[in-house]
Amino acid sequence: MLNSVLMLKKPLEELLHCIRERHDGFTSFSIKPSDDLVKRIDEVTWHAMQDFCDFLKPFKDATALMSASEYPTLGMVIPVMHILLQHIHRAIVANEGFRSRHAMRFATAVEEKLKDYEALVKRSEVMIAAALDPRVKGVLVNVGVNVEEVMTLITNDYKAEYLQAYEAKRQVLQLSLARPSSDSFLNLLEEHDQIADEPFAGKLNRWMAHAPMNIKQSSRDVCSWFAVNQAMYPRIQLMARNYLAPTATSVPSECASLRAGTTINKRRARLGDDDVQAICELQSLLAFNAKSRRRD
């Protein structure tokens, strides 16, 4: 809204000037030249609107990034929150840039509001997701995360929730390798399985020391990275699949509710729960296939 007004600055000034001076077809205009509505908009007001736009731009970008559902977002929550808080702090303490006291008060209020959410953002689940995201693990220290604490959380969670599942998966793999085969790929898996005897703590240390992805890379690249490197870190991949899958915001769920609302209308008011679910899933599948074709 504010960006649109800023783009109309010159046309608005010309329009108000024409009304005040009663020329270019505005001689019989219903608004009087003396009305407050046609007073010149001061530069202070334009500066304030520009300050608000500059301040809110990172929030718009963060909202678009974190509201997606087709790529991992939970691992980026902590870095995004840290960047926003740093942006707010720089805006408040800057000697130049903010020319509006209203914008300054607004930034202070936003900072206080975001700090109320810090405890929620730095929950154990979110910190684990950040450490399992190959883009974020390299910047954990820079965003105020205790790496040792997170590694302890990951180790405890692996022992409690994933150890038995991984051991069962290994047994299935060993049975496959026990059969005579000349397949070179199975031979490689057998060599890798010997490395898999490494304790989880050692595997986690190697994961944290492994060169991270560039944090500026697309979120979709995270899925591709694990698809290529899952053989190196099978246990990390097993956990990352669960921790990176949840969305960071409720926007995708709200969109699904809106789609269901458009499905159930006056002409289809007697649809059962199963029918509504099937229609919504079919719509999602068609939309996903359409996007995939456009990307291809």
pLDDT in tens, 269-296: 778 888 888 888 888 788 778 877 776 6
User: pLDDT (tens digit, 9 = 90+) per residue, 172-228?
Assistant: 655 665 555 545 554 544 445 444 557 888 889 999 998 888 888 887 788 888 888
- Domain-wise residue ranges, the chain: 2-117, 125-243, 251-295
Residue for token digits 């910047």?
139
Alpha carbon distance 26, 19 (integer Å): 6
Helices (H) and strands (E) in the chain, counts: 15, 0
Q: What is the mean pLDDT of the chain?
A: 81
AA letter at 41: I
> Residue range 86-100: average pLDDT?
76
For the entire predicted model, the pTM comes to 0.74
Pull the structure tokens for residue 34.
Answer: 């003396």
Residue-wise DSSP of 46-86: HHHHHHHHHHHHHHHHHHHHHT-SSS--GGGHHHHHHHHHH
> Residue range 256-273: average pLDDT?
77
Alpha carbon distance 226, 152 (integer Å): 22
